[in-house]
A and B are shown apart, each in its own frame.
Chain A
Amino acid sequence: MIEEKFDAIVIGAGMAGNAAAYTMASRGLKVLQLERGEYPGSKNVQGGILYADMLEKIIPNFREEAPLERHLVEQRFWMMTDRSHTGLQYRSDDFNEESPNRYTIIRSQFDRWFNREAQAKGTIVIAETTVTQLVSDAYGKVIGVSTDRRGGTIFADVVVIAEGVNGLLGSRAGLRETPKADHVALAVKEMHFLPRETIEARFNLHGDEGVVIEAAGTISKGMTGMGFIYTNKESISVGMGCLVSDFAGTTETPYGMLEAFKKHPSVAPLLEGSEVKEYAAHLIPEGGYKTIPELFGDGWVVVGDAAQLNNAIHREGSNLAMTSGRFAGEAIFQLKTRREPMTKQNLALYKKLLDDSFVMKDLKKYKDMPALLHTQAKNYFLAYPKLMSNAMENFLRVDGTPKIDKEKASIRAFVRERKWTGLFGDAVRLARAWR
C-alpha cells in the first residue's frame, strides 16, 4: 500500500495524461501516474499526426529528443469512388522549415518518450496497474483511487482522469455518460513496412519529408467515415474509420472495409510489397462540442479523449488532449500555489482556460458539423463523390462530343440526383455548419 498522499493522481499515460503529469511535476507538484499497459504507450493508438505547436508549449525543445517520423510537406484529400479519386493536393516547400509544424508519429514509441520526460520532472509512474475505482468521501468529493494491485486507496488532492475514449471509471462513477454510438467512430489501422527509399520514391519525398492522404467517398459505403494513409520513416499507417452507429446498421466488417480500401486502385500501388506488422482498432470521439461532458467536479478533472475533446474536421485529437492536459495541470498548480482546495468551484479554472483557448473556440465553430455529416452521409459520402467523378471523367475524356453538351450532361446529373433545391440546401447546410 502506498501511504503517502499525492498532490495529484493522473490516470492514464496517453497524450493528455502525460501533458498533465509533465506540467504539474515540472512545477514541483507531487504526482503519481497510473497506466494499465505494460509500459506507457502500449495501449495507445493514433493515426497519427502530431502538431508541434501544442507540444512546444509543454516541451519547447522536443524536436531534439522525441521519436518523430516525418515532417509533413504535403496533404492530399481524395474524394473516392470505387475506381477513381478526385483529389485536392497541397504541397509547399515552406513546410520544410527550421521548426516544422506537423509530424507523423508512432504512438507507442512517442508516448514512451513523453512519459519518460514526465518522469524526469519527478512524476512517479506505475505501469501494469489498472485503476478499478475512483474513491469518494461521504460528500462525493473524489479523494483517491483504488487499483488492481494489492493495497487500499491511494489518496490525492485531485485526480486527473486521462483514461481515454473508452473510459470506464468516469462513467461508472457517474461523472459522465458512456458515449453514444453516433458520437464515436471505430477506426482500424495497419502498419505497413517498406524500405524508406521505396516510400520516398512512391510518395515523391526527400529525406524526412512526409505526406498525408485523407480519403472519403464510396469507400465508407454510405456511412460517415474516412480512410487515411500516413507516411512514417519506414512504414505507412493505413486506416479506415466509420461512425459506430452507422456500422451497427450494416453487415460490413471493419477489417473488410480496410481491405477494400487497401485494394482500391489508387491505394494498392502505394502499399505493394509491404510487410504488415500490426493491426489495431480504436474509437475516436466524433460528437464534438455538443457531446462534451462535465469537465470538472469536486476533486477531479477529465481531459483528452475521455472528455470527447476532438476536432473531427481538422483531425485534432492528440492536440486537444495535450492542451487540455496542460491546462488541467496549470489550473491545479495555480490552486495549489494559492493553497486553495480542489473543489468544483475552484477547478472551474480549468474549464475557463479551455474556453478562452482555441480548443473550445474551434469545437464551438464546428458544433453542427458532426450531426450534418451524419444525417447527410449518403449525399456527402456516396452521391457527390460519384457525381464529381463522372463530371471529371466527362471533362477529361475526349470523344468528339461537343464540350457544351458534356457540360450540360454533368450539370444535369447533379440536378437529377439532388434537384436544384437539394444542391442549394446541401451547400447552405454545409456553409452554415462550417461557419
Chain B
Amino acid sequence: MSIQPARVEEKLYQNRYLVDAGKPHIVIEPHSTPSKNLLAMTTLCPAGCYAENSAGQVEITPDGCLECGTCRILCEPSGDIVWNYPRGGYGVLFKFG
C-alpha cells in the first residue's frame, strides 16, 4: 500500500485561529547550521510550522501552531528557540479539543 504524503495545510484549514500579527510566540535563535533537534522539527512539528530554507537554516511560521509544546521540549533547553504562550485570546482556538 503506497501512502501519499499527508498535506498538513489541509488539516490546519479545518481549525480556528486568531493570529497575533507581527508577534510570533515562537522565535528561532539565529544559527548558521541547525542543531539535530531543531532540524528534526521540520518533520516532527504536527502543524508543519518548521521548514529548512535554501541556506540550510531552519525557519518558523507559527501561524498554524497547535501549541502542543513539542518544539519547546526538544529545542528550548538547548536555547535553539524561545517559546512563549500567545497573548491571551490569541493562537489556536479549539472548537472540540
Which residues from chain A sit less than 8 Å from chain B, CB to CB? 36-38, 41-46, 82, 106-109, 111, 127-130, 147-149, 165-166, 168, 178-181, 184, 186, 188, 190-191, 235, 244, 247-248, 250-256, 258-260, 263, 276-283
Contacts and interface: CB of A to CB of B under 8 A. Distances in A.
- What is the interface of chain A mostly: helix, strand, loop, or mixed? mixed
What interface size band does chain B fall in?
A: 35 or more
Interface string B34-76: 0001001001101110000000000000000011111011101
Given A129-B88, A178-B77, A277 B44 contact: no
A38 B73 contact: no
B73 A280 contact: no
A98 to B, nearest CB: 28
B43 A253 contact: yes
Given A45-B97, A283-B68, 9 more contacts: A107-B97, A128-B88, A168-B83, A248-B74, A253-B43, A253-B46, A256-B3, A278-B95, A279-B11
B23 to A, nearest CB: 11
Contacts of B14: 276-279
A45 B91 CA distance: 14
Contacts, number: 145
Given A166-B72, A280-B94, A283-B69, A247 B44 contact: yes
B87 A281 contact: no
Interface in B1-48: 1, 3-6, 8, 11-12, 14-15, 18, 37, 40, 43-44, 46-48
B37 to A, nearest CB: 6
A178 B5 contact: no
B96 A107 contact: yes
A178 B8 CA distance: 27
A255 B6 contact: yes
B89 A38 contact: yes
A385 to B, nearest CB: 17
| 8 interchain residue pairs of minimum CB distance | A166-B69, A128-B89, A281-B46, A279-B11, A108-B97, A107-B97, A281-B66, A259-B6
